[in-house]
Amino acid sequence: MGTLYTDVALADGTGPELQLDMAILVEQDRIAWLGPASEAPTPGSGTEVVDASGTAVVPGMVDSHSHLTLPGGAHWIDRGFDPPEKLLEVAEHNARLMRSAGVRWARDVGSSVRVDPVDGGERALALGVRDRWRGHREYPYVRAAGTWVSRGGSLPSGLAAEVEDGDGLLRAVTRQLDDGADFVKLYLDGPDRDASPFTAAEVRRAVEAAHSRGAKVTAHSGTLVGARAGVEAGVDSLEHGFQLDREIVEKMAAQGTALVSTLAVLESWRTFGRTTTIDRFADPALASQIAARREWARESVRLAARAGVLIASGTDFGGGSLRANQLAWEIESLVSAGLEPWQALAAATRNGGQLLGEPEAGVIRQGGPADLVFVHGDPLSDPSALWRVWLVT
């Protein structure tokens, strides 16, 4: 039994041109054949032929910055303190949203530490979610970091693993890995916005400890000082990178530190200024600060792209204001910032797979998984086509 999709255009994020009049044969959730429709194998009696004309197929997408157990919205921080039963319900809803939007991989970069009501373990809730979803194709594939590791006072008390010095940082990193985290997430925005919460030397000790166990380290970075400390310490990636300069991106490119963009977070804050009465978004003076932050963030992406930094993309849904089915918004935001549409698509597909170290994530190839997203329109000239999902396999 199999399915042959005919007359489809291929947009795989490897270049700016669609491959037209293609066909894809899927058998047992793998791509058994891929090529020009005129050369497609003759379908057998058990093969369903699907007319996919007018659609483009893109790889199952990778949300490289997500928070599976949190819903997002204008009160996103408050939701981290909801009961664990509610947070697990949210994760189930988010899984449905992601799949419907063509997101097949989720890289969870922080969840609350609670007693899991399903298995009784006390650890970051996303770790249990990851384990229970594994092997079920109706769910996204998940890699999870455990909880945020931050300096006391950086985040609301009780949300993250809070430490006060480099020794505490090292212990917290070890604890995340002992709990089963796939990688470690450090929070490099501190109580003092003008100073990194940890020195580069302290972060480097944590990075070396994680690397010695085969794990990578990523760092939340909303400020220039935090970004500098993380990059000097050799973190594997920066999340957000809203404030970067030429020196930092050149060092990132030289040592292989990736950038995970979340520009759409700032775009969503602009919309909240019109749709809520929350002062943080609606007050004209604060809205002006958001606008300035947005422009620096866009310039940071441009600098990173020109320097040759690997850029993957994420929504920050849950841990930020977006929702789990809005990765297309981030792709549009990257294009608006100056990337070509195919480069922005690559950030949400193959680059995410490279960041995860998963060669089958975000690619379409014969013999690979049939994680396919059919959309109406050409995402290589019009990224809004990624909102028009017809079919996800």
pLDDT, residue 337, reads 98
pLDDT above 90 (res 94): yes
pLDDT above 90 (res 44): no
Cα separation, 46 vs 276, whole angstroms: 54
Cα separation, 273 vs 286, whole angstroms: 10
The pLDDT tens digits for 324-346 are: 999 999 999 999 999 999 999 99
Q: Which one, of 233, 265, 67, 225, lies nearest residue 159 by Cα?
A: 67
Share of the chain above pLDDT 70, in %: 100
Pairing of strands 183-187, 372-376: unpaired
- 304 φ/ψ angles, rounded to the nearest 5 degrees: -65, -45
Q: Which helix (H) or strand (E) holds 34?
A: strand 30-36
| Domains of the chain and CATH, by start | 2-59+362-392 (2.30.40.10), 61-356 (3.20.20.140)
Contact between residue 352 and residue 361 where contact means Cβ atoms under 8 Å apart = yes
- Say if pTM beats, i.e. exceeds, 0.85: yes
Residue 4, class by beta-carbon neighbours within 10 Å (0-12 exposed, 13-18 middle, 19+ buried)? Answer: buried
How remote is the C-alpha of 186 from its chain's centroid? Answer: 16
Show Cβ contacts of residue 276 under 8 Å, excluding neighbours closer than 6 positions. Answer: 74, 282
The pLDDT tens digits for 268-296 are: 999 999 999 999 898 999 889 999 999 99
Question: Residue 201 CB: number of other CB atoms within 10 A?
Answer: 11
| Cα-based distances in Å from 89 to 105, 131, 166 | 19, 16, 36
pLDDT above 90 (res 123): yes
pLDDT, residue 63, reads 98
Cα separation, 385 vs 374, whole angstroms: 10
Encoding tokens for residue 371?
Answer: 């994680």
pLDDT above 90 (res 1): no
Taking residues 224-249, report their average pLDDT: 98
